[in-house]
């Protein structure tokens, strides 16, 4: 399968007129070669030329594990702390006859790697982020199975988190209950920092989970993700603690309707902009447009945020097999917020929800 990925990559390199691709540790390296080289201050670069052997420069201590992990043939260029990487990188660049147009990851490559490459080869660096995102956007059966497993783990954790909610418990304690149950259900790690935002804190979409104690009348936003087999899930539910304000109750139903409208609008060949508009118009027509302060969703896979993005500027048609979140929200400063986030996969017949957790308001 990975060989197939390399073939697809090489076809994309040819279309983009690139002579080679340089990858640093991260999701693309795992996707294409199967390597999980530990990201650190030490230099590690994989070079995939348009034709010829794949070559990887890496710290010597990483080589045994990398050699065991590699899903395609690789020539290794290990370097040691006491001798440094310059000579090894130079030898690798020579063997590659590195030059011309080199694709790099603009959001991941550091000046460390860029300057090191420029010191040993004359290259024009080109952003390959979009090309790589396109390869990863359509998920195959194995990838979807991993994402479904990540959904099962996060939802098991979410049930435990909601069970832990009562007046006096802190946001941090609820997040800990979630993460522990999620791990017990098979998650290797949280996909991102678990968000538990209570009362007025729920009006901040990216609140930092803290020591606030839950009170009766709070809305509590719970936003978490699991990782299984490399792939992530990302779910948000908002619950009420006892009796809540009538306007907040209304706002909850508007967001639930916006979530349903976004999912209903999602079909292959529809754009991220159209799905965003479908969800956003429900909130705008209810008079809360100014309080929906983020995009409707984002792609999901090896990373929690990856293309496609669901906002007004993304007019590209979405392919069948794309996976993304639909997560409208309304945030009333000083009072509270509601977000309802589901993960979906596009099929030829429309969007299929991966997340199954109930969306009706849960009162704790
Ligand atoms: N927790 C970040 C997000 O839902 O995108
Ligand atoms: Mn999300
Ligand atoms: Mn989320």
Domain boundary assignment for the chain: 2-136, 138-363
Q: What is the pLDDT of residue 3?
A: 74
Q: What is the pLDDT of residue 317?
A: 96
For range 21-37, the mean pLDDT: 96
Does the pLDDT at position 93 exceed 70?
A: yes
Q: How far is the CA of 276 from the centre of ligand 3 (A)?
A: 16
Mutate to test the pocket of ligand 1, among 222, 304, 343 (most ligand atoms within 8 A of CB): 304
Q: How far is the CA of 151 from the centre of ligand 3 (A)?
A: 12
For range 145-170, the mean pLDDT: 98
pLDDT band, residue 268 (cuts 50/70/90) = confident
Minimum CA distance residue for ligand 1 atom 1? 223
The ligand that comes nearest to the alpha carbon of residue 207 is 1
3-class secondary structure, 77:
strand
Percent of all residues in the chain with a pLDDT value above 90, rounded to a whole number: 97
Q: What is the pLDDT of residue 68?
A: 97
Average pLDDT taken over every residue of the chain: 97
What are the residues facing 306 on neighbouring strands? Answer: 299
CA distance 336 to 203: 4
CA distance 79 to 82: 9
Ligand 1 pocket, Cβ-based, cut-off 6 angstroms: 192, 195, 223, 234, 298, 327, 341
CATH entry, 2-136, from 3.40.350.10, 3.10.20.310, 3.30.1280.10, 1.10.260.40? 3.40.350.10
61, two tokens? 């201590």
What are the residues facing 237 on neighbouring strands? Answer: 222
Q: How far is the CA of 184 from the centre of ligand 1 (A)?
A: 22
Nearest to 339 by CA among 354, 313, 359: 359
Q: Half-sphere exposure (CA, 13 Å, Cβ side) for 203?
A: 11
pLDDT band, residue 243 (cuts 50/70/90) = very high
Query: Considering only the top CATH level, what class is 138-363?
Result: alpha beta
Residue-wise DSSP of 259-323? HHHHHHH--TT-BHHHHHHHHHHHHHHTT-GGG--S-SEEE-SSSSSEEEEESTT--SBPPTTBE
Q: What is the pLDDT of residue 38?
A: 87
Does the pLDDT at position 1 exceed 80?
A: no
């Amino acid at each position: 399968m990975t060989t197939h990925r390399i073939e697809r990559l090489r076809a994309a390199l040819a279309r983009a007129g690139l002579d080679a691709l340089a990858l640093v540790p991260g999701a693309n390296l795992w996707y294409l070669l199967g390597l999980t080289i530990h990201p650190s201050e030490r230099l590690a670069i994989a070079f995939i030329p348009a034709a010829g052997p794949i070559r990887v420069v890496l710290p010597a201590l990483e080589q045994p594990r990398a050699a065991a992990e590699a899903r395609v043939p690789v020539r290794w260029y290990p370097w040691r702390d006491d001798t440094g990487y310059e000579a090894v990188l130079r030898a690798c660049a020579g063997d590659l006859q590195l030059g011309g147009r080199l694709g790099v990851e603009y959001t991941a490559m550091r000046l460390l790697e860029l300057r090191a490459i420029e010191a040993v080869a004359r290259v024009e660096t080109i952003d390959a982020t979009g090309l790589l995102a396109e390869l990863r956007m359509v998920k195959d059966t194995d990838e979807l199975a991993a994402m479904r497993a990540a959904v099962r783990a996060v939802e098991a954790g979410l049930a435990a988190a909601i069970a832990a909610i009562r007046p006096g418990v802190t946001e941090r304690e609820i997040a800990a209950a979630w993460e522990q149950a999620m791990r017990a259900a098979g998650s290797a790690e949280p996909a991102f920092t678990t968000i538990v935002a209570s009362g007025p804190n729920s009006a901040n979409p990216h609140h930092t989970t803290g020591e606030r104690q839950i009170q009766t009348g709070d809305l509590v936003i719970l936003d978490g993700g699991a990782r299984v087999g490399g792939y992530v899930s990302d779910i948000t539910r908002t619950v009420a603690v006892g009796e809540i304000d009538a306007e907040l109750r209304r706002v909850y139903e508007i967001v639930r309707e916006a979530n349903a409208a976004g999912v209903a609008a999602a079909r292959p060949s529809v754009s991220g902009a159209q799905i965003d508009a479908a969800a956003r118009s429900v909130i705008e027509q209810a008079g809360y447009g100014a309080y929906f302060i983020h995009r409707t969703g984002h792609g999901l896979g090896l990373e929690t945020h990856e293309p496609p993005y669901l906002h007004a500027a993304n007019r590209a048609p979405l392919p069948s097999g794309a996976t993304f979140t639909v997560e409208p929200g309304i945030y009333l400063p000083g009072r509270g917020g509601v977000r309802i986030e589901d993960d979906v996969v596009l099929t030829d017949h429309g969007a299929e929800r991966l997340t199954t957790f109930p969306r009706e308001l849960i009162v704790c």
